[in-house]
Amino acid sequence: MLITLDASSQAPLYQQIVDQTKAAILTGALRSGDPLPSLRQLAADLVTSVITTKRAYQDLEGEGLIKTFQGRGTFVAYLGEESLDRIRQSEAQTRLRDLVSHFLRLGLDADTLTRLFARALAEEVDRK
Amino acid sequence: MLITLDASSQAPLYQQIVDQTKAAILTGALRSGDPLPSLRQLAADLVTSVITTKRAYQDLEGEGLIKTFQGRGTFVAYLGEESLDRIRQSEAQTRLRDLVSHFLRLGLDADTLTRLFARALAEEVDRK
Amino acid sequence: MLITLDASSQAPLYQQIVDQTKAAILTGALRSGDPLPSLRQLAADLVTSVITTKRAYQDLEGEGLIKTFQGRGTFVAYLGEESLDRIRQSEAQTRLRDLVSHFLRLGLDADTLTRLFARALAEEVDRK
Amino acid sequence: MLITLDASSQAPLYQQIVDQTKAAILTGALRSGDPLPSLRQLAADLVTSVITTKRAYQDLEGEGLIKTFQGRGTFVAYLGEESLDRIRQSEAQTRLRDLVSHFLRLGLDADTLTRLFARALAEEVDRK
DNA sequence: GTGGTCTAGACCACT
DNA sequence: GTGGTCTAGACCACC
């Protein structure tokens, strides 16, 4: 598990940590019960401040993805594979709905959108 | 063409103006050469500050969608229907590619994504 | 609306701000749409740091009780009276259940608990 | 008498030991004069550190519930059944008073609170 | 060692 | 003016 921060990104540092950690949990790179790096260790690794790592872990805990215990450390929460899949699918559904709604409003028709989706899927599947 | 600001949206006011104006241009509600309200008029209509409307017009001009002429006002840029369609499709393609790439990486398979896309499309087409 | 911090309390400062603000909203002292003091103003009033007031507002926003808008300020969220009452009742129910469960386990019987509850209620109603 | 630590509880480990020991004494599972496991034995049993068990016994001794004799071990303090009952009732009374006071202030009326209490009691009595 | 809270200050984005 | 992010450092609680 490796996090890289992009200082030139629009996204705040803590958000980048959140996003990458979340992705690691959803892909299974981090599994239930796995320990996360300590706040101070992560801050040192990323050359950032403890406040920033703390804020990221706080948000992740708010989402229920990790649990922190004073004096003991921070760990990936216990989530069944079904829960993970439910999260993945519901996020995908929400984003797809927003995207489709947006471009239908802009005048693209259903056929065109379907064609663009198929092309995107084909390209990305190939890249893997 | 009517812009409404949603005070309870997290999106900045200037962004809401940009988004709605852009949508109006891409849907054809605003056509090439159409005049836009003056900065002051728009600010008065939306009960916001000129700084906010100015910021929005600057962004739109930066995207090449509108053009301001000193002393004469602001107008929709001259863009052929092919240009508009190219913009619509390339934006949709980019966002679909990002979305597909993201969720494939998280472990969703192509079939699931296709199913979710079809469902989103069906729901949104119905809503219209 | 007046917040007072007790430095000698076990509860962290931000938590005291959260608790008192939440109480003000639930009692109706603060109503939907009312503006809250700015982060800096509140920090100055309470002689604490902006980080502390920020943390408090962040938690309150996470609970859905307030909304903050960059550049505009922080406001009480729009919650109907039914929502407020649902919050009040569900919190009371949870805490009563925990309390009852705890003391039943310690060996108090239902009659004794009921008697103690009635006494507490009588005393507190009188004090008002 | 068996203590189990819940690693996924937010409560500190020493507090869990305190709570469970206290409950054992108040329920009568541990009686006046009964020996408690040694600090090291308990630490070994719970797979925790002696510092943690020491902290727990200190707190319990501070409350007057146990007594440590240098070189001989730790024992449940001599408390008559009246004392135990007084502790149980006074704790219950205090917590009920706080709870009632809090929710009256938030706008719940006495009838509603009584109804919620009755429901909590009924549910918890059933669960036993 | 771990996380939890807090300070005093900075710079940026938005209105 | 508003809130949003970040720093460098401190002290405390828990293990």
- Cβ-Cβ contacts under 8 Å, D7 against chain A: 69, 72
**Separation of CA A38 from chain center:** 19
Q: Spell out the long-range contacts of D112-115 with Cβ–Cβ below 8 A and sequence spacing 24 or more.
A: D112/C89, D112/C92, D113/C92, D113/C121, D114/C117, D114/C121
Nearest to D110, CA basis, from C122, C66, B50: C122
Q: Which residues, given as ranges, of chain B have pLDDT below 70? A: 1
Amino acid at B18: V
Q: Which token pair is C113? A: 């608990």
The angle formed by the CA atoms of residues C91, D59 and D6, to the nearest 5 degrees, is: 55
At B33, list the tokens: 């050469």
Q: Which residue of B has its CA nearest to A91?
A: B103
> What integer pLDDT is reported at residue C104 of this predicted model?
92
Q: Which residues of chain A have pLDDT under 50?
A: none
Please, are residues C21 and C3 in contact by the beta-carbon 8 Å criterion?
A: yes
Would you state the pLDDT for residue C117?
96
CA angle A106, A108, A112 (to 5 degrees): 160
**Which amino acid makes up residue C5?**
L
pLDDT at B2: 82
pLDDT, tens digit, for every residue of C52-77?
999 999 999 989 999 999 999 999 99
- Nucleotide with minimal C1' distance from the CA of A69 is E3
Provide the pLDDT for residue B1.
67
Quote the pLDDT of residue A76.
95
CA distance to B13, C60, C77, D76, per residue, from C70 (Å): 10, 16, 15, 58
Which of A85, A100, A123 shows the shortest C-beta gap to B124? A100
Nearest nucleotide by C1' from C39 CA? F3
C partners (3+ CB pairs within 8 A) are B, D
Helices (H), ranges, B1-128:
13-27, 39-46, 50-62, 81-105, 110-127
Mean pLDDT, chain D cut into blocks of 10 residues (128 residues total): 87 94 93 94 93 95 93 92 92 95 93 96 88
Backbone phi, then psi, for D67, in 5-degree steps?
A: -140, 135
* Interchain CB distance below 8 Å, A27 and B106: yes
Which residues are B26's β-sheet partners? none
pTM: 0.88
Q: What is the pLDDT of residue D66?
A: 94
Q: How far apart are the first and last CA of chain C?
A: 19
CB contact under 8 A, B8 and C67: yes
- Chain C residues touching B15 at Cβ < 8 A: none
Q: Would you call D100 and C121 a contact, using CB atoms and an 8 Å cutoff?
A: yes
Strand partners, D69: D73
Question: Would you state the pLDDT for residue B71?
Answer: 86
Which residue is closest to F4 in terms of CA–C1' distance? C70
SS3 state at D68: strand
Contact B7 C69 (CB under 8 A): yes
Contact flag C117-D117 (C-beta cutoff 8 Å): yes
Residue C32 pLDDT > 90: yes
Distance CA A14, CA A37 (A): 15
DSSP-assigned letters across all residues of A46-82:
HT--HHHHHHHHHHHHHTTSEEEETTTEEEE----HH
Tell which strand F nucleotides have any atom below 7 Å from a protein Cβ: 1-10, 13-15
Q: Please tell me which residue of chain D has the smallest CA distance to C115.
A: D93
- Tell me, what's the pLDDT at D2? 83
The whole-angstrom distance between B111's CA and the closest CA on chain A is 10
Nearest residue in A to D48, CA atom: A72
Mean pLDDT of the C88-103 span: 95
